[in-house]
Structure 1
Amino acid sequence: MSKPRARDLGLPFAGQTGPLNAITDVAGVRVGMTTLRDPECGICTGVTAIRPRDDAGLPVPVWAGHYALNGNGEMTGTHWIDDAGYMIGPICITNTHGVGAVHHGASKWMLRQYAQFFDTEHGWAMPVVAETYDGVLNDINAFHVTPEHTIAALEAASFGPVAEGAAGGGTGMIAYQFKAGTGTASRRFVIGDQTYTIGALVQANHGRRADFQILGRAIGALMPLTDPLPALPQKEMGSIIVVLITDAPLSGLSLRQVAKRAAIGIGRGGTAGGNSSGDIFLALSTANPGPMPQHAGAVLTKTEINGEMIDPLYMAAVQAVEESVVNAIVAGEDTPSFKPAGHIVPGIDTAQLKALF
């Protein structure tokens, strides 16, 4: 039986969600996962794959912007996103030492998915691959993740509900010293006379228990640490990856501003973005589909939300990220540690959390 989500516990998050309260509420967005678990062999990891467009043959650019609150981590492809304002292909999230294998797998998948493009042109694959460190629960130095696991996650990507907690790349992740991992949420918002959707997906592996808050309540003080493992080290050493996708028409510059709002969303949970944490955010818009720039005319015509009217989108992004992190934690279950062995990283007590609200 699946665990309840945060709203099922009565946590009164603000804002109107989409029907699934997930990143897949944005039309055309698919999520797939490969989850690898064998605690006796030190395996507790995986791959999360996000496909923002259902394109094939010839890739269709997705407008993009990125922001790094703290750069102690990796998200490939962002130099080009910063220069071009768009990307093609998937976004994948895994563990720190799995980046190379996942990049290899995602590139191979792109060669098949966009066969016409790569067969007829001098195309190059530059997928976005991000990571967080799962070495407490997983033997990260054993390189369990392979290119084939990435391809499997991409092929499994679907439009429906998204698994949370110990799923995909989030399988071995810890947040605020609770078992956490993958989390998602969505918001609907109105600008002018049009309703849009924004969805968030996080791989939450950050935060110290003492700092943890939910909707202003000091959860860290109300649910203190009981096992010595989660208390070590004392400083924040995890990371969080945030992917935001919207159907609102935005430029690469505006999307960078949206990506920045993820910092406010995770900050509501109490983190200050510690020096040893990689807090890296990506924002995408699926609006304004069109050909690759080299196949377009000399002048591009696109629609874009007026920056003076964009505040409802910013608030929706903050709310979706905040709730995604809590969903990742609420889905967590007690998990044995790998390094050091002999401890349990606890899932949050959902009955106690419900009682607090």
Structure 2
Amino acid sequence: MDNHLTAATRGRVRARDLGVVVGALPTGPLNAITDVEGVLVGHTTLDDGADLHTGVTAVVPRQLTAEGRALPAAVYAGNGYGKLVGSTQIDELGVLESPVVLTATLSAFRAADALLTYLMDRSPEGISFNPVVGETNDGYLSDIRRRPITERHVLDALEGASGGLPAEGCVGAGTGTTALGYKAGIGTSSRRPVAEGTAVTAVTVGALVQANFGGVLTVGGVPMPVEELVPGATGEEPAGNSCMIVVATDAPLDARQLARLARRAIFAMGRVGASYSHGSGDYAIAFSTASPELPRLPDAGLNPLFAAVMDAVEEALLNSLFTATTTTGVRGRTRHAVPYDRLPRTGVGEPVG
């Protein structure tokens, strides 16, 4: 288990440590999805140093287990070329009844069965469950046809989920992913916007991403094409690239409003240079942990949350890239880490390294 291996221990750091600051809104204390009270993250990583670079990441809202209730939720498919298990029931009912598990494309169905085991163990009398599993295709670097994910790997990620700053980069479901020509992985960020038109003003919006999509990396509006910045590298776009985004908030929103947040999460991919290609399954899941007794936030008060989602997702995507390490995988293919010395500064402070 490697829930809290920090990127710094692997010689890589987050966007803000490099002088890259997204937007003016304040972050939560950890600048992570776990800044939303009750939201936990767990990882299981499989990396043999050769042909296998894959894993599982679980986002576990404690409210589902501790309080036994469904949470308002929505899914938005920017491009539906993917296998998001459980999405149609979320669309129909507007609720999340399961942790969100992320993994590799061909392991998604085994992961769903394992998540079903987890849910059944917690509800011995239940006869219907809606496990939610998202995926991206890590087959460029990992031998995806081996389908190495087992029930134990999924249960370890779920049962080991915790608060604190989650590990990022080449960990969990991001171990073998690539994005924008570089090695990518898992990234997270958060924002603390001031809600308008309600007595509930102190809200948190957090995002976690599994980045695995094509395009040209853009940082603060500056393109960073890999073929120009890394000798010998190419911007070849693997088949089956995608992005999974999980957005959590403690703002009191209904499913319709959460769908509006989920759409903005997909929009934020464009800020970092996403190509939104034919084969890219780009999905966002948004849910609220707020007490059901709180009055809903009015639509007129959503603008600060829209800005928070856009900024948090953009920074989470950058963190997924900046914390990832150069990886050589199946068939000798390599994806390089983003070179820090070529990054533009968008905020205060000096870049490191």
* Fold in common (TM above 0.5): yes
Aligned in 2, Cα 1:306/1:169: closer, same or farther, shift over 3 Å? same
C-alpha distance 342-110 of structure 1, shift in aligned 2 (>3 A) = same
Change over 3 Å in CA distance of 1:31–1:232 after alignment to 2: same
Contact 1:103 1:147 in 2 (8 A): no
1:267 corresponds in structure 2 to: 270
Q: In the aligned structure 2, how far is the partner of 1:261 from the partner of 1:79? A: 20
SS in 1 for 2:186: strand
Are the aligned partners of 2:20 and 2:345 in contact in 1 as well (CA < 8 Å)?
A: no
Report what 1:239 is aligned to.
242
Per-residue CA deviations over 1:247-300 (Å, capped at 9, x if unaligned) read: 0000111111110001221110111311111101110001134xxxxxxxxxxx
Q: Which amino acid aligns with 2:223?
A: A
1:302 shift after superposition = 5.5
* 1:75 shift after superposition: 1.2
RMSD: 1.9
**1:96 aligned residue (91, 105, 110):** 105
Cα distance in 2 for partners of 1:223, 1:47 equals 33
Change (3 A) 1:28 1:134: same
- The amino acid across from 1:32 in the alignment is G
Q: CA deviation at 1:12?
A: 2.4
In the TM superposition, what are the counterparts of 1:1-357 in structure 2 within 5 Å?
1-2=9-10, 3-14=12-23, 15-40=25-50, 42-56=51-65, 59-112=68-121, 114-115=122-123, 118-119=124-125, 122-192=126-196, 194-208=201-215, 211-220=216-225, 223-227=228-232, 230-233=234-237, 237-289=240-292, 303-338=295-330, 341-353=331-343
Task: Give me the whole-angstrom Cα distance separating, in 1, the residues matched to 2:93 and 2:288.
Answer: 14
2:67 and 2:178 mapped to 1: Cα distance? Answer: 38
Can you give the 5+ residue segments of structure 1 that lack an aligned partner in the other structure?
290-300
Letter of the structure 1 residue corresponding to residue 80 of structure 2: G
Please say if residues 206 and 236 of structure 1, whose CA atoms lie closer than 8 Å, have aligned partners that are also in contact.
no
- Which sections of structure 2, spanning at least 5 residues, go unmatched? 1-8
**Paired residue total:** 334
Q: Once the two structures are superposed, what CA deviation does each residue of 1:71-107 show, in whole Å capped at 9, x if it has no partner?
A: 1112111111111110212100000001111101111
Q: Secondary structure at the match of 1:12?
A: coil
Asked if the contact 2:181–2:226 (Cα under 8 Å) also holds between the matched residues in 1, the reply is: no
The structural deviation recorded for 1:212 is 1.9
Code of the residue aligned with 1:279 in structure 2: it is: D
Contact 2:192 2:203 in 1 (8 A): yes
Letter in 2 for 1:172: G
- Equivalent position amino acid for 2:231 in 1: T
**TM-score, length of structure 2 as denominator length:** 0.90
TM-score w.r.t. the length of structure 1 is 0.89
